[in-house]
Structure 1
Amino acid sequence: MNELRYPIEGVIYHDEAQARRYQDSGAWARTSVGDALRATARRQPEAPAFITDEGSLSFRELDEQTDRLAAALLDAGLAPADRAIFQMGTTLETVLALVACYKAGIVPVCSLPQHRELEIGQLVRQSGARGYFVQADFHKFDLVAFAEKMAAGSDTLAHLVVARGSAGSHLAMRALIDAMPLDQARARLADVAPGARDVLSFQLSGGTTGVPKIIPRFHAEYLGHALACARLYELGPDERFIWALPLLHNAAQLYVLMPVLAMGVSAVLMSRVEVRRMLELIEQHRVTRAVSIGPIAPQLMAYPDLDKHDLSSLRLFTTMSRADRLEETLGVPCSNLFGITEGLLLGAPPSAPAHVRHHTQGKSGCADDEIRLLDPESETPVPEGAMGELCFRGPSTLPGFFDAPEANAKAYTSDGFYRTGDMMTAHVVDGAVHYTFEGRLRDNVNRGGEKIGCEEVEGLVTAHPAVVEARLVAMPDPVYGEKGCIYIIPKPGCAAPQVRELADFLVAQGLAKYKCPERVEVIDAFPVTKVGKLDKPALKKMIADKLAREAQEAGQGAQRGAA
């Protein structure tokens, strides 16, 4: 089923000739995600698909339950091409809800349980979401009550689906599944199943402003992208992943969810990151693949009892950076990675030379990807060996952000290469070009894989009654890679708010807690460049140097205390 059945206004689609070319080359699949799962379930019905401490799902169970839920959602009033907000953790219920939406043509919007009024309000308005999936038992926060509040203030939200708890007057996810006969469900879906070129999900750009840009990803494209990455990583049919981070993220979808559904590999899911339990599960389930997007790798390197765990089943552990240190710690092959939701994945398999795995982010697994390193101020390629802005086009490059003509006008070169804002250098190894990440041009904080737009936070901080101006920069952190440091110019006669007070103020305005600055620095005036522009690199250097001095002084103090 190669057609586009449910076009969405505001989505930019690949043109017909381009789509045919990508399917002919094998860069795109010729099927939908739902049909890919159905084929896997026929091939290996009783093999485990997803495993958790609470229970497991075989491929047959996953296929049957998602058929039933998909049909029930349609009967409840949702329709193909409708969008749905997700505030759910990493559980079997989230897998069922996601896959059911894929089968029904409902488009999940990448949202997190930690998001609050600001983020969810923006996403609902931008996406025009009609559905809302929540997990009733996610920590102590009442997501059901929060969703009710958001729905009451929305012109579009009409269907609230509740998992893992009391649904009240809303749709209970388990009840929807149980009440739908399988034969009836399959007959219902046969008439409405999405095509391979339909939108699969709405992902989010890690941009620099307070308003996230929406990235449509498509069934054929996403499957093809994930399978190309799996081939690059030399993924075999007996592989088993472990995953503890949000399932809505691009990384979870491409590295884990799509390979499970389409290839029949399996995944162990954890509802939260807990290093000791992760190592126990690797041992218990003979996990072969692990991925660190965020704080997992630093926590592993700090864990004191590694030698008590058998990690011999691991064939590869991929991480965002410092794969050399992780490999030294774990004693298993490790490699760096790079991924961007706009459509490029770089990586290196366990068979790659150590230099490639440890000192580059690898290469693309798709032969149709075109990659250039350009001067950030022009479209001129940088000289060989020089650092340049990573730009790319290819089968998984987004054709355009959703309903965002101004952003699209700035995002591409004149010949259609997407400009990432990430600086790389290129290295030829064994005849193939590999890329090393050198830094970012864009103004954001990458806190353990979660991108925090500095503009968004700055705008809210300057609303504080004691603040004249504020600028957020990334400061180095041993666990998360980066955290946010806010430089504040206070109003005359006022004291700048401290970290806790500022966080309370920002959360009250609807900002997610993880976006709140974790250090406050008071400054009389911001440094400027020679042409009078704000010099954020100088602010970053100031806080990095200050942290280094503090660490050195703390070390000296510890030595004096020991003496």
Structure 2
Amino acid sequence: MSQTSKVLRESHNQTQPTPFLDRFDEIVARTPDKLAIVDLVAGSVHQLTYRELSALADRIATHLIQVGIAQGEAVAYQLPSGWAFIALTLGIWRAGAVACPLLPSLREREVRFILESSGSQLFVIPDEFRNYRYLDMAESVVDSLSQHITIFVLEEVSDNPQTTTLGGLLADKPDYEALALRRPGQEATAQLLYTSGTTGEPKGVLHTFGTLSYALASHTRTLELTAEDTVWVPSPLAHQTGFLYGMMVSQYLGATGVYHAIWSVDTAKKAIEEYGARFVQAAMPFLADITRSENPPLGLRIFVATGAAIPRQLAGDARQSLKCAVVGAWGSTECCLVTVGRPDDAPEKLWGTDGRVIDGMAIRVVNDDGNVLPPGVEGNFQVKTPAMFSTYLHHHEWVQEALAEDGFFDTGDLAVIDADGYLHITGRKKDVINRGGEKVPATEIEDVLYRHPAVLDIAIAAMPDERLGERACAFVVVKEAAHKPNLADLCTFLEAEGVAKIYWPERVEYLNELPRTASGKIQKFVLRKQIEEKLRSGAQQAQGAL
């Protein structure tokens, strides 16, 4: 065993809570008729009790075993948030397999990489979602891969869960003997999630049932959540925020989860006021949208805003309009949630920071030599937690590069920890744009746009945005002044290359040359400063015109 593996394992071997599946089964036995899922779909509402959800999961698991899914094998699925996603996830786990969800917004380029990297032999997709038909894309991708993959199309993904056959995914009856033999332990891998790449390719993050169970126990204990705290889940379930801190939190508590695949303020209001949602963890754009709506919904108890520190003005407005506690937090796919504000924290600490460390975890800021820095000094942000991931799939060397000898993991962020222990994330060492909690891999998008026939040179940098925190701006040097590609041209090119829309730039600026260091590296900080000043100047001019 390598020293790196030993450090990770020692971190994981701390006292563990009840395993997630054991806890879920206890909840099913104790409150079988309680609503587990309220799925708000267009024009209707689908509901499942814990008994019904558990029965669906057993039949799905049995079918997966029958079609040859092996224990520990990754099952890839690209489904919208809702009851089918949730039932399939539980079914995958009960079959002893690994859940590998993909965001519905991903297209050919990202899907091809994930399917090949994960080694999945089964890919579950909807027939259509948001006017996009997935089968053509999936068939094109699968035909180009080395492994054989069976595509499973859920044509009835929005049907009533009490009557659906789920497109044939359900076995006629569960095989409890087979399921008992597949029961995963705490050390078994539960989840494979891919982050946006910063080193040339996305990272496949592996979590065990033990790490996820610890994350759930510490989170719910810290925020004093109970089965009475109906959980609203507006975040995509294929993202860790929705997956772990929405779906799994609700099931860990034995609470009701309220889901909707398509974002709208009206649906959010329905989730909160009609179905009694009390807790939500989501990115700042969701908080901003409901706070600024004409009639902000009332009924939430806690809103944990992730992705960036909450602007003081927004936090104050939200607390006044929503009549609930609004707290900041920091986490990552690798580490899960490590810091969070507490509802009784002072406003000056609660807003504008990323909270303070959760009990049982540790944070620190160090210089480039690894020496711990005093409060108030910026440095490299490192964390240590029993909720730490196992490794990066196929790339354990990336873990070794980021892990200190004493088990602290370098997050890639720059931060300051103040004298009271509150975290202030100040930037990122690697070039990733944080668009409302979604990380845009700038380098990868640049690589694609370099192939545009009119582009001579290009850089993608973050520009500030009030709602999302950051958006991507493309700084372009063209080959010929008479042939400048506009924003629509660049986005059309990216779409043709199979790049997901969430990664497209949202503004274009033209330069004669990109600012570079003497060694040839692009100075992204110069570009960020330029666009920030330009946007500020434009806003001031607009105010003057009024």
Q: 1:109 to 1:21 in 2, by over 3 A?
A: closer
User: Do the aligned partners of residues 48 and 349 (structure 1) sit closer, same or farther apart at CA in structure 2, a change above 3 Å counting?
Assistant: farther
* Structure 1 residues 202 and 232: alpha-carbon distance in aligned structure 2, compared to 1, 3 A threshold: same
> SS of the residue aligned with 2:357?
coil
In structure 1, C-alpha distance between the alignment counterparts of 2:238 and 2:391, rounded to whole Å = 20
Q: Which among 39, 49, 61 is matched to residue 52 of structure 1? A: 39
Q: How does 1:385-396 map to 2 (within 5 A)?
A: 385-396=376-387
Question: What is the aligned residue count?
Answer: 528
Amino acid at match of 1:455: T
Give the alignment's TM-score, normalised by structure 2: 0.91
Among 287, 290, 294, which residue is 1:300 paired with? 290
Matching residue of 1:356: 349
Does 2:365 correspond to 1:373?
yes
| 1:153-190 deviation line (CA, Å, top 9, x unaligned) | 223242322224499xxxx96254554213xx222201
Tell me the residue number matched to 1:527: 515
CA contact (8 A) 1:68 1:186 kept: no
- Alpha carbons 2:432, 2:441 under 8 Å: kept: yes
User: 1:342 maps to what in 2?
Assistant: 334
1:410 Cα deviation after fit: 2.4
Match of 2:161 in 1: none
Corresponding position: 1:255 with 2:245:
yes
Query: Could you tell me how far apart the structure 2 residues matched to 1:187 and 1:100 are?
Result: 15
Give the direction of change, closer, same or farther, for the CA distance of 1:165–1:399 in structure 2 (3 Å limit).
closer
Q: Within 5 Å, which residues of 2 pair with 1:83-162?
A: 83-162=74-153
Indicate the residue corresponding to 1:4 in structure 2. none
Give the aligned residue type for 1:141: Y
Q: Are residues 21 and 305 of structure 1, via their aligned partners in 2, closer, same or farther at CA, if it must alter by over 3 Å?
A: closer
Q: Aligned partners of 1:418, 1:341: CA distance in 2, in Å?
A: 13
2:316 to 321, 324, 349: 324
Letter in structure 2 aligned against 1:262: Y
Which 4+ stretches in 1 moved above 4 angstroms?
12-17, 529-532
1:234 and 2:220 matched: no
1:325-382 deviation line (CA, Å, top 9, x unaligned):
4223323211111111111411123233333322321123241x2321012x331222
Amino acid in the other structure paired with 2:303: F
Q: What is the CA–CA distance in structure 2 between the aligned matches of 1:117 and 1:196, rounded to whole Å?
A: 34
Q: Are the counterparts in 1 of residues 208 and 390 from structure 2 also a CA contact under 8 Å?
A: no
Q: Which of residues 148, 156, 180 in structure 2 aligns to 1:190? A: 180
Q: Which residue of 1 aligns with 2:24?
A: 37
Q: Tell me the alpha carbon deviations over residues 238-295 of structure 1, each in whole angstroms, 9 at most, x when there is no partner.
A: 1111112211211122212222222201211012111122113211112111223152
Equivalent-residue separation in structure 1 for 2:210 and 2:118 (angstroms): 21
User: Match of 1:7?
Assistant: none
- Give the superposition deviation at 1:529: 4.4
- The one-letter code of the counterpart of 2:233 is W
Distance 2:273 2:263 in 1: 16
User: For residue 62 of structure 1, what is the aligned residue in structure 2?
Assistant: 53
Alpha-carbon distance, 1:531 to partner? 6.6
Q: CA deviation at 1:505?
A: 0.6
Change (3 A) 1:20 1:357: closer
Which residues in structure 2 correspond to 1:447-466 (within 5 Å)? 447-466=435-454
The answer to whether the Cα contact below 8 Å between 2:477 and 2:510 also exists between their aligned partners in 1 is: yes
> Quick check: 334-343 or 406-415, which moved more?
406-415
Query: 1:35 and 1:151, CA in 2 relative to 1: closer, same or farther beyond 3 A?
Result: farther
**What amino acid does structure 2 have at the position aligned with 1:475?**
M
When the two chains are superposed, the root-mean-square deviation of aligned CA atoms in Å is: 2.4
Distance 2:389 2:521 in 1: 32
Aligned CA distance change for structure 1 residues 545 and 173 (closer, same or farther; 3 Å): farther
User: Are the counterparts in 1 of residues 112 and 142 from structure 2 also a CA contact under 8 Å?
Assistant: no
Q: Which residue among 479, 491, 494 is the counterpart of 1:491?
A: 479
Query: In structure 1, how many angstroms separate the alpha carbons of the residues matched to 2:476 and 2:458?
Result: 4
With over 3 angstroms needed to count, the CA separation of the structure-2 counterparts of 1:266 and 1:175, relative to structure 1, is same
CA 1:410/1:18 → structure 2, altered by over 3 Å: closer, same or farther? closer
Q: Structure 1: which amino acid aligns with 2:495?
A: V
TM-score, normalization by structure 1? 0.88
Contact in 1 for aligned 2:449/2:458 (Cα 8 Å): yes
The residue that corresponds to 1:438 in the other structure is 426
Distance 2:405 2:9 in 1: 20
Using the TM superposition, give the Cα deviation of residue 475 of structure 1 relative to its aligned residue in structure 2, in angstroms. Answer: 0.7
Measured in 1, the distance between the counterparts of 2:458 and 2:519 equals 20
Distance 1:193 1:72 in 2: 15
1:466-485 paired onto structure 2 within 5 Å: 466-485=454-473
Range 87-96 or range 257-266, more displaced: 257-266
- Is the partner of 1:527 in helix, strand or coil? coil
The answer as to 2:416 corresponding to 1:400 is no
Task: Give the SS at the match of 2:464.
Answer: strand
In 2, Cα distance between equivalents of 1:339 and 1:58: 31
- Alignment CA distance shift 1:285-1:405 (3 Å): closer
Once the two structures are TM-superposed, the CA of residue 434 in structure 1 deviates from its matched residue by 2.5
Pair 1:543–1:339, CA change in 2 (3 A): same
1:337 alignment partner, SS class: strand
440-449 or 392-401, which deviates more: 392-401
Aligned-partner Cα distance in 2 for 1:491–1:363: 49
Query: Does structure 1 retain, via aligned residues, the 8 Å contact 2:12–2:388?
Result: no
Name structure 1 gaps, 5 residues minimum.
1-9
Deviations 1:181-237 (A, max 9, x none): 13xx22220112222210001122344244101110001110111111111111122
1:299 to partner: Cα distance: 1.5
Structure 2: gaps of 5 or more residues? 159-163
Could you say if the C-alpha distance between residues 487 and 102 of structure 1 is closer, same or farther in structure 2, counting changes exceeding 3 Å?
same
Change (3 A) 1:48 1:491: same
Q: What is the CA distance between 1:17 and its match in structure 2? A: 6.7
Corresponding position: 1:555 with 2:543: yes
The change in CA–CA distance for 1:373 and 1:90 in structure 2 (over 3 A counts) is same
Q: Aligned letter for 1:38?
A: D
**Residues 30, 196 of structure 1: 8 Å contact kept:** no
The Cα shift of 1:402 comes to: 1.4
Change (3 A) 1:75 1:344: closer
The answer to whether the 8 Å contact 1:107/1:202 transfers is yes
Deviations for 1:502-540, whole angstroms, at most 9, x for unmatched residues? 111111111111111111111111123477642111100
